[in-house]
Amino acid sequence: MKLRYVFLVLVFSVFSIKAQNLLPFNWEFSYKKDSVFTVNNNVNLLLSWERQGLSYLTPSGKLSTRFKIPKNTNKASYILEVCLLLDVKDIYINGVYIGGDISNKFKWSANPKYNITKFKIPNDVLFIDKENTIEINCSNFSYTGGKSHNSVKFYAEYKFDNSKIEISFNSENHLFEKSSEVLFNLNMNLNSDAELDIFIRNDFADTLFVKNAFVKKNTKHFRIDLSKENLAPGFYEVIVNAKNMGFSGAVSWFTVNPTKIKNTYNKPADFNQFWDIAIAELKTIPPNFKVKKIDSLCTSKRDGFIVEMKSINNLTIRGYYFVPKQKGKYPALLNLPGYGYGFENLDEFLTVDEDVIELAFCVRGHGISDKIVEDKLESPGFFGHQICNKEESAYRQIYMDCIRAVEFLVSREEVDSSKIGVLGGSQGGGLALMTASLASKSISACAYFDPFPTDLKNHLRIRKLINGEIEGFLNFYNNSCDFKTAMNNLNYIDTIHFAKMIKCPTLYITGLFDDDCPPRIGFSAYNKIKSEKKFKIFPNDSHIGESGSKKEMMAFFKDQFKF
């Protein structure tokens, strides 16, 4: 029987007290499947939900773990801190109700601030020097982008700092050219002797290496040498858990020779013909380019416009167009949007001082082009739209929108048509790859950040929730085709197959923590590009691109086009 009589103090804060955490990172998540049996999954709060197969598709369930309170704290007051990117229905300690009705949603920010909910726990609820249990009933696991901002801490109020562990790599950007070079250090500040558990997993979540060690309090560095593990080209996650008077830990990523990753994913035999037909269809539609100056988009350096054009299915597509005020010919950059994003925040274009033209293009279903979509591509989403009919795929239409945007730039007298670049991240990255390929005669440089849809075969292996999403798309269409047929259809929009046809200099930027569009899939495309190319790794970035991928891309285009 669960009791509900605890007095508590509830405080919201963005700061966490650095006291000894008595709760482990490892929890168990259980839920009912098909209302018949309970499924139990191990969950580590150091890792993103998605890396552990948890997402908005996951049923409601219960997180639980056990912990012990040392004897030397039995006169202290205790605090429970909760910061979880999900909806908390209620929390119980030893069967006693503590609180609930807490929600934290993901914030698209390089430095997000999440609310930490604090409870003061009465001593009569707790068992000193014995096993205690904590249970959190929860639902609606939030998107994370690849980094965990989750924490649940339980500590005594007196000032006693937690142990600290950092994972340190000597190699730049956590990149090793050879497996025989892989080693790193754990830098530690321990408050007592500790037990270390060290795990190495690949990006498919296969555990490849486990090491347990006992270290003394005065140990400052602990070396991990993987030079004899013969790690294949790929991406690897390091997870460290330390247990002494409490729990501390760290997680990081490294990569081994990613340019040698091999991919045998074959494109459909009629792939080129499929896209030749789409381009031929686009040519039958007069573009009807229109340009309208918008005062609110003008700055001291550039004039701003909204442009319109007709695309495949005779739909009107729009974008934001920025042109230097002084008359002349300028390089032009085609900015392509992420999934569902319509450049709602234009600050990045309104603060540009360089002499360059930019088109922030809203493909159908995005931004200012959204209202003219009559066939409701958002249901069941762009990726799943007409998944059983490749000729009606949303991406077949969206790709043609991008080609029309290139035609618009080529038609403008103010554009130096020998200096047209294309760029984007996430879906925009996939669109950039496709555009640089199908419009290779017009595109002189390409830059992309972790792309989509790219290398879908491996994407489904890494980000397993996509499998459930595809099953949902099929259900939406009453299972008019099977999963295999759906994957065959998606193979026609997989931008990995366009990479070989790119002829211009190309920059790829990736974040090793990205679990939305993980670096393996971006390198799968990169490794097929035959033209001049280079890559940049941000080892601590997620899909948010915390270090600023757009800044790196602009530096690349400045070097290419000399503006």
Burial class (CB in 10 A: 0-12, 13-18, 19+), 325: exposed
How many Å apart are CA 49 and CA 44, to the nearest integer? 9
* Cβ contacts of 347 within 8 Å, gap of 6 or more: none
Q: Do the bridges between strand 445-451 and strand 506-511 make them parallel or antiparallel, or are there none, so unpaired?
A: parallel
Phi, psi of 32 (to 5 degrees): -90, 135
Residues 6+ apart with CB under 8 A from 426: 338, 339, 449, 450, 451, 452, 516, 517, 543
Residue pair 549/449 in contact by the 8 Å Cβ criterion? yes
Q: Which two tokens stand for residue 259?
A: 């340019």
- Give the closest residue to 405 by CA, choosing from 435, 445, 383, 366: 435
Q: Is 514 a catalytic residue?
A: yes
Torsion, CA 455, CA 262, CA 533, CA 346, rounded to 10: 20
339 is an annotated ligand-binding site residue = yes
The amino acid at 194 = A
d(CA 533, CA 260): 14
Backbone angle region of 484, left / alpha / beta, with phi > 0 → left and psi within -120 to 50 → alpha: alpha
For residue 340, the Cα-to-chain-centroid distance in whole angstroms is: 14
Q: What is the 3-state secondary structure (H, E, C) of 251-265?
A: EEEEEECHHHCCCCC
Options 203, 450, 455, 514, the catalytic residue: 514
Is 174 catalytic? The answer is: no
Q: Is the dihedral of CA 39, 44, 50, 51 positive or negative?
A: negative
For residues 339 and 323, give the distance between their C-alpha atoms in angstroms, rounded to a whole number.
26
β-bridge mates for residue 53, sequence order: none
Helix (H) or strand (E) holding 348: helix 347-350
HSE, side-chain direction, 13 A CA sphere, residue 532: 6
Number of CB atoms found within 10 A of residue 200's CB: 20
User: Which phi and psi angles does 428 have, rounded to 5°?
Assistant: -60, -30
> What percent of the chain is helix, strand and coil (3-state, nearest 5)?
25, 35, 40
> Rounded CA gap, 84 and 544, in Å?
19
Phi, psi for 385 (deg, rounded to 5): -60, 120
Which tokens go with 248? 């501390």
Asked whether 134 and 26 are in contact (CB, 8 A), the reply is no
**Whole-number Å distance between alpha carbons of 513 and 384:** 26
3 state DSSP class of 105: coil
Catalytic residue among 252, 426, 444, 549: 426
Residue pair 86/60 in contact (Cβ under 8 Å)? The answer is no
Annotated binding site for substrate: which residue ranges? 339
Annotated binding site: which residue ranges? 339
Which residues form the catalytic set? 426, 514, 543
